[in-house]
Structure 1
Amino acid sequence: MAMASAGANPEWTRPDQRLPERRPAEGATPPPPAASTWHRMHNAVGVFLLAYGVTSLVGAALLWGDRRKELAGYFGAGNAGALLVAVKAAEAVLLAVAAAGIVRRRDVWFVPALAGWMAGFAVFAVLDVFDGRWGGLLEHLLYLAGFVVLLFVSYGLGAKAQVGSGAAVRASAASGPGGDGGEGEPGADGEPRRLTRTQEFALAALNRLPHR
């Protein structure tokens, strides 16, 4: 009987026919979007990274001889040219990563760019100590401290954006057709993750800064 029924209705057994899609039940709401960590002030952080990277590359191109002589004081004249090319190539990669972070609005992409420049300043600071270049040591330590602060600020802005986006997600879920006005269950789809201790510390320090 089953085979006869299938033969009487060939449309049910055609392999090229798509099955009907299941429609969501009435009153059901789609899951809210995930919390974002991009803050509007991340644009300023990204612009600074772009400006610094472009200035460094253009300055090296215009003052190639001076930059090569500076590296020769650390590593010798024989390796200065190749090392300068390698350093500027690495800076170009860091610049591209920072630019991609702005375009894609992903603050996490600022981390490798900031960490790369921080590592470079730290290496030169150590070399300054061994060579007794106290003026260069002070300069590199100031740059290193500035990029550490910038990384900390970017991290705090990400935590602040995550908190604000999480509040918007909960409000959207509560005001939906199926919402009851509550906070929602923790761990539900779209619910932002809890802040880590480091994020809480960065956010607290950022909130203590004077606001105009």
Structure 2
Amino acid sequence: MPLPPSGEQALPSVPPGSSGQNWHRFHYPVGAFLVAYGITGLAGAAIGWGERRDEVAGYLGAGVATPLLAVVKVIEALLLLIAVAGLVRRRDVWFLPAITGWIAGFGIFCVLDVVKGKWAAFLEHGAYLLLFLVLLVLTYGLSVKARVGDRRQPAPAEAVPPPSSGPPGSTPAPRPGGLTRTQELALAAINRWQRGAPPPPPPPRPPDAPQGPTG
């Protein structure tokens, strides 16, 4: 059975995710931020309900401001509960719908800002939109990194498929470790963002044994 070329290492196949399997330690600050943001948003709406209602009325009119704002806050409460559940149960995948929901909300506000010509509000909502997009990419990349591990480990020779010898255009061999192209890009981005630990120094070379007299 052919072996992989020297100097190349193959990643072990990635098993399906289970509870906590894709959890990275940096998911804790991501989840804490989502929970803190959700609580702050709901508390701010409860304190300044009239101001928020006037803001919505400036976009869509006073007739629908109150019921629409109530629906939005109910959705935000659901997103907050999802984020709390993901943080408590260490389910990274539950962060994705919460982040996606806030991305959709700020995206809608950005469109309304452009239509109404509110450029200051557009900059504010655009900054939040960019922030949650970064969180989405970061969360996905951390999940991939947790699945494959911080270091590449060589796979057994039996697990390495032989190179494809078919004609051009045939089905390509699977990617190392079973990763998709998107997962590979996310993992590469996380590795560039996260500074790796320096390699350990090489062990000291033992002193040469003294040679005895030759007869």
Q: Given the two structures, how large is their TM-score scaled by the length of structure 2?
A: 0.70
Counterpart selection for 1:207 from 191, 202, 205:
191
Letter in 1 for 2:39: V
Determine whether 1:143 maps to 2:128: yes
The higher radius of gyration belongs to 1
Q: CA RMSD in A?
A: 2.5
Letter in 2 for 1:209: W
Query: Deviations for 1:143-193, whole angstroms, at most 9, x for unmatched residues?
Result: 00000000000011001000018979x99xxxxxxxxxx466479xxxx96
The sequence identity of aligned pairs, in percent, is: 56
Larger relative contact order, structure 1 or 2 (CA cutoff 8 Å, min sep 6): 2
Displacement of 1:211 in angstroms is 2.6
Task: Report the counterpart of residue 107 of structure 1 in structure 2.
Answer: 92
Displacement of 1:72 in angstroms is 0.5
Query: Deviations for 1:103-141, whole angstroms, at most 9, x for unmatched residues?
Result: 221111111000000000000100111100111111111
Long gaps (5+) in structure 1: 1-32, 172-181
Distance in 2, Cα, partners of 1:70 & 1:97: 27
Letter in 1 for 2:99: L
Q: In 2 relative to 1, CA 186–130 (structure 1 residues): closer, same or farther, beyond 3 Å?
A: same
Distance in 1, Cα, partners of 2:149 & 2:140: 14
Counterpart selection for 1:70 from 50, 55, 69:
55
Displacement of 1:210 in angstroms is 5.2
Distance in 1, Cα, partners of 2:114 & 2:16: 47
Task: Report the counterpart of residue 85 of structure 1 in structure 2.
Answer: 70
Distance in 2, Cα, partners of 1:151 & 1:202: 11
Task: Report the counterpart of residue 16 of structure 1 in structure 2.
Answer: none
Letter in 1 for 2:104: A
Structure with a larger share of its residues in helix: 1
